[in-house]
C-alpha cells in the first residue's frame, strides 16, 4: 500500500474509527511486526489505554495515546487495517488485533510482515533518531533544493532516501518523473536547479491531488493510475513505448520523452 498518500489515507481511516475508544486488550497473532518488542510490552501499553490523536511524517504513522507514549505503525509493503466484529473470525493476515471495550475490533493486517507495530516514547524523537527527513508535503521549496544540492548520483536513489525527503516511494517517484519529463536516472550534479523546482512543484501538486482523490488506498495497486507500468505500453495519446529498467534496485518505468541529465 504505502507511500505518502496511502499512509495518509491510512491515517485518516484509522483516526475515524480508532480514537477515543478504550482498548480492552491487544492480541498479538504474529510478533514479527513487533520487531523484537515483547508482546507483553505492547499489551501492557495498550491495555486500558485510549488512542487520542494521529501523526504522520512520510511513511511513518503514529497514534498518540492517553498515557503518553505512542503506537508506531509502519506499513512496510502490505500493511493495512480492517475492522471486524469481535465475535467473528479475524481477517486474513491479521498480525495484531486491538479489542475495544465495545464496538468493532481492529486488525492490523500485513501479508508480508514487513511492517512495524510497536510503542515509542515520542514520535519526533523517534523519527529524528532514525534520521527521517522532512515530510514531502511539508517541506519548503528552499529546503527541498538545499537537501538535494549537496548530493551526487542518481536522482531516483536520492528521492527514495527517506532521510532526505520522507514520503516518496518507487511508484510515486516514477509518476512524478513522468509528469515532469525528467528521467529518474538523471544525475543530481547535472540536473539544473530549475528542473528540481519543477519536480518540487509537481510533487506538491500530485501528492495533494492524491490525498484529495485516492482516499481509499485499498484499491492500490490495481488502480488505473499505475496501468502504464508495463514495458512496451503506449499511452492513449501516443506517448511511449514504456521502457522498464532497474534503478537503485527498484523496477523503474520511463518513456522516451523523459530527458536524462548527466
Partner DNA sequence: TGTGATGTTGAATG
Partner DNA sequence: GCATTCAACATCAC
Site residues for DNA per CB under 7 A: 1-3, 6, 30, 32, 58-60, 74, 76-78, 93, 111-114, 130, 150-154, 157-158, 160, 162, 169-171, 187, 220-221, 247-251
Residue 105 near residue 98 (C-beta atoms within 8 A): yes
Residue 249 beta carbon to DNA: minimum distance, rounded to whole angstroms? 4
In contact, 207 and 200? CB cutoff 8 Å? no
Angle between helices 141-149 and 193-213 (to 10 degrees): 130
Residue with smaller CB distance to DNA, 162 or 254: 162
- CA atoms 165, 171, 175, 180: torsion sign: positive
C-alpha cell at 238: 501516443
CB closer to DNA out of 123 and 169: 169
In whole angstroms, the minimum distance from the beta carbon of 78 to DNA comes to: 7
To DNA, the closest distance from the beta carbon of 3 in angstroms equals 5
Measured from the CB atom, is 21 or 187 closer to DNA? 187
CA distances from 148 to 9, 84, 159, 163, 189 (A): 27, 44, 9, 11, 9
Q: Hey, which bits of 58-159 come out as E strands?
A: 60-65, 70-74, 80-84, 94-100, 105-109, 116-120
Q: Quote the least distance from Cβ 246 to DNA, whole Å.
A: 7
CB 118 within 8 A of CB 42: yes
Which lies closer to DNA via its Cβ, residue 155 or residue 202? 155
Nearby residues of 213 by Cβ (< 8 Å), 6 or more positions away: none
Gap between the Cα atoms of 109 and 111, Å rounded: 7
CB of 23 to DNA, least distance (A): 25
Helix, strand or coil, per DSSP, at residue 167: coil
Smaller CB separation from DNA, 119 or 169: 169
Shortest reach from residue 47's CB to DNA, in Å: 26
Contacts of residues 38-45 at CB distance under 8 Å and 24 or more positions apart, as own/partner, are: 41/118, 41/119, 42/96, 42/117, 42/118, 42/119, 45/69, 45/71, 45/119
Nearer to DNA, 23 or 176 (CB): 176
Please, which residue, 100 or 184, has the CB nearer to DNA? 184
Nearest approach, Cβ of residue 238 and DNA (Å): 25
Q: Give min distance, CB of 92 to DNA, in A.
A: 8
| Closest to DNA by CB, 40 or 222 | 222
Amino acid at each position: 500500500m504505502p507511500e505518502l498518500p496511502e499512509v495518509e489515507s491510512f491515517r485518516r481511516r484509522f483516526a475515524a474509527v480508532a480514537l477515543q475508544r478504550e482498548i480492552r486488550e491487544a492480541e498479538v497473532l504474529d510478533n514479527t511486526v513487533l520487531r523484537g518488542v515483547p508482546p507483553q510490552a505492547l499489551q501492557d501499553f495498550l491495555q486500558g489505554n485510549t488512542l487520542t490523536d494521529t501523526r504522520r511524517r512520510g511513511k511513518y504513522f503514529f497514534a498518540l495515546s492517553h498515557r503518553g507514549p505512542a503506537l508506531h505503525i509502519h506499513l512496510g509493503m502490505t500493511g493495512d487495517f480492517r475492522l471486524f466484529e469481535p465475535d467473528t473470525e479475524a481477517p486474513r493476515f491479521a498480525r495484531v488485533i486491538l479489542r475495544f471495550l465495545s464496538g468493532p475490533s481492529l486488525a492490523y493486517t500485513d501479508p508480508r510482515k514487513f511492517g512495524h507495530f510497536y510503542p515509542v516514547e515520542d514520535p519526533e524523537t523517534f523519527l529524528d533518531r532514525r534520521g527521517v527527513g522532512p515530510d514531502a508535503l511539508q517541506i519548503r521549496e528552499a529546503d527541498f533544493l538545499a537537501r538535494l544540492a549537496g548530493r551526487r548520483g542518481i536522482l531516483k536513489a536520492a528521492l527514495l532516501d527517506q532521510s532526505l525527503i520522507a514520503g516518496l516511494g518507487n511508484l510515486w517517484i516514477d509518476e512524478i518523473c513522468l509528469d515532469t519529463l525528467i528521467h529518474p536516472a538523471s544525475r543530481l550534479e547535472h540536473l539544473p536547479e530549475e528542473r528540481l523546482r519543477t519536480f518540487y512543484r509537481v510533487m506538491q501538486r500530485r501528492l495533494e491531488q492524491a490525498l484529495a482523490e485516492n482516499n481509499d488506498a485499498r484499491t492500490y495497486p490495481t488502480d488505473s493510475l499505475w496501468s502504464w507500468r508495463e514495458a512496451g505500453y503506449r499511452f492513449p495519446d501516443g506517448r511511449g513505448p514504456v521502457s522498464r529498467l532497474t534503478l537503485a534496485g527498484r523496477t523503474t518505468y520511463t518513456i522516451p520523452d523523459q530527458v536524462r541529465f548527466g
